[in-house]
Amino acid sequence: ANGTGEAAVVELSDGTLYYNSRRHLSTDGLNPRMRHIASSIDGGESWENLYVSDALPDGEKNRDYGLMAGLDRLPYEDHDILIFSNIVSQKVRKNGTVWLSFDGGKSWPIQKLIDPEGFKYSSFSSIKQ
């Protein structure tokens, strides 16, 4: 989608790539205040199933500019447990929050505030053992 950027990509247990992106510009009528999601089954050669998340916000709710977020897959057998971080805020970058998905990003049932103060760009890094 035009205007996406600062994306995070994780590989799910079946090899599908899950793309989760900030939205800098919205010229197609899609909601720029929620994260944009797509998937690839061919290693990123092509992308499909673009949609706007109804659970994951993209920055402050009073503007259409988004915020870089963190995303990672937590390896546990063949389960697709994902962790995502961003903010839940109306006007300023604060209220750093993490979400958990147990189904490869289809739903995000757990949300936890981790930092009520200033919270900006976030990222995760898996440690493989």
The pLDDT tens digits of the residues spanning 27-60 come to 778 888 899 999 999 999 999 999 999 999 998 8
pLDDT band at 124 (very low <50, low <70, confident <90, very high): confident
* DSSP of 80-95: EEEEEEEE--SSSSEE
Q: Is 50 exposed, middle or buried (0-12, 13-18, 19+ CB in 10 A)?
A: middle
Structure confidence by residue, pLDDT tens digits, 56-110: 999 888 888 888 899 999 988 888 999 999 999 988 899 999 999 999 999 999 9
Tell whether the model's pLDDT for residue 111 goes beyond 90. yes
> Could you give the CA distance from residue 97 to residue 16 in angstroms, rounded to a whole number?
26
Dihedral sign for Cα 47, 68, 82, 129, please.
positive
pLDDT band at 127 (very low <50, low <70, confident <90, very high): low
C-alpha radius of gyration, the chain, whole number: 14
Percent of the chain with pLDDT over 70: 97
Three-state SS for 99?
Answer: strand
pLDDT band at 4 (very low <50, low <70, confident <90, very high): confident
**Nearest by Cα to 88 from 63, 54, 113, 121:** 113
Tell whether the model's pLDDT for residue 113 goes beyond 90. yes
> Could you give the CA distance from residue 107 to residue 75 in angstroms, rounded to a whole number?
18
pTM for the model = 0.89
